[in-house]
Structure 1
Amino acid sequence: MIGKLKGTIEEIDEDHVLIDVHGVCYVAFCSSRTLSRLGSAGEAAVLFIETYVREDQLKLFGFETALEREWFRLLQSVQGVGAKVALAVLSTLTTSELANAIALQDKAMVARAPGIGPKVAQRIVAELKNKAPALSGDAGSTMGLKQELGEGVASAPIADAVSALCNLGYSRDQAANAVAAAMKTAGEDADSAKLIRLGLKELAR
């Protein structure tokens, strides 16, 4: 089982990279996001690897971080999501954006990935809502509030403030982050008007 590759980039193609490790070249299939962050041919590279062994093939999938690899595994626990679809999601959304979308039950955000229809997007946000917090990464600080919003159990002032900011053109994720930051200043008992005002200040930074 291969867990990580450290070597030199031989070449980068549309969906994979060829890495030379002491004279042995490995093909690792990656998300477009990971491929775009690798260097050029001849440069050093490190990839976390997920190894797939099938009767008729052995395939390596490469990831910039261990967190991205964990999301790749988790996404495939959802019915209808295979390796190709999981890579498409990770090509479209960062791990933080994906965690936020699941917490907010924002299936439209997930459906932005090519090959993801509304039904699969709905299954992803529904089936992973309790598993996502452990893999929230940079999104972890506001995950609790976003889950409350996604499940429709957030307090009225918070829900109203987020809704108001969304009506002003901000995404639900941006609005939730701003309100979470506003709550740190205003306190959890603040009314919606105060949360909106402080939230706008956060968004203007």
Structure 2
Amino acid sequence: MIAKLKGLLDETGVDWAIIDVQGVGYLVHCSSRTLTALGNVGEACTVFTDLQVSENDMRLLGFAEAAERDWFRLLTLVQGVGSKVALAILSVLTPGELRNACAAQDAATVARANGVGPKLAGRIVNELKDRAGAMPGGGGAGFAAVAVSQAGSASADAVSALQNLGFKPAIAAAAVAQAQADLGEDAGLNDLVRIALKKATG
């Protein structure tokens, strides 16, 4: 599992960057805020990452700070919010602004993001209002657990993987929680996904 990349910024696009780590180029999809924070091509940079796994694709997402990655993971637990929408939200709102918007039930602020209508914005702030206070607001804060099924990065990635395979957030989270209970807290991503898939389809 790739959790962080540290290297040189090799190339950038509208919503992606290539990070050269000792001669190996990693393509990471990013929010516009992260792309700006990475600096200029040729400069040293660090990105926190999240791996999105679907039936026929694997995509690496990059974030300038851990707080942004944590919010990305939380946002994608909301039905109707995929990686593209989550990155759009994080392109217009900092983790702190997003935390405040959810806590205050300010759907209009979330709806500023491209592709987020009033209905989806309302669902986001409604579902995340009780979790917002526990989430980091930026400045390099570490990962904050938002549910039992997300106690560690492997379980969070497993939940994300099941969602990308078409399972609803609640079903994915419950299946991963059951898998982690069977395998223990130190279970790896591959084992968690394998057992969680059996739980979700069993």
Q: Which category describes the TM-score, using the shorter chain as reference length?
A: 0.5 to 0.7
Distance 1:10 1:80, change over 3 A: same
Q: Which runs of 5+ in 2 are unaligned?
A: 140-202
Matched to 2:58, the amino acid is L
Distance 1:138 1:26, change over 3 A: closer
Matched residue SS, 1:112 = coil
1:18 maps to 18
2:86 maps to 86
**Greater radius of gyration (CA):** 1
Q: Structure 1 residue 14: deviation in Å?
A: 0.6
- CA–CA distance in 1 between the matches of 2:59 and 2:109? 29
1:36 maps to 36
Matched to 2:131, the amino acid is K
Q: Structure 1 residue 137: deviation in Å?
A: 2.2
Q: Structure 1 residue 54: deviation in Å?
A: 2.2
- CA–CA distance in 2 between the matches of 1:68 and 1:126? 20
Matched residue SS, 1:137 = coil
- CA–CA distance in 2 between the matches of 1:8 and 1:33? 18
State the TM-score, normalized to the length of structure 1: 0.66
Matched to 2:117, the amino acid is G
Matched to 1:106, the amino acid is D
Q: Would you say how many aligned residue pairs link Structure 1 and Structure 2?
A: 139
Distance 1:51 1:138, change over 3 A: closer
Which structure shows the higher helix fraction?
1
Identity of aligned residues (%): 57
Q: Structure 1 residue 138: deviation in Å?
A: 5.9
Matched to 1:3, the amino acid is A
Q: Which runs of 5+ in 1 are unaligned?
A: 140-205
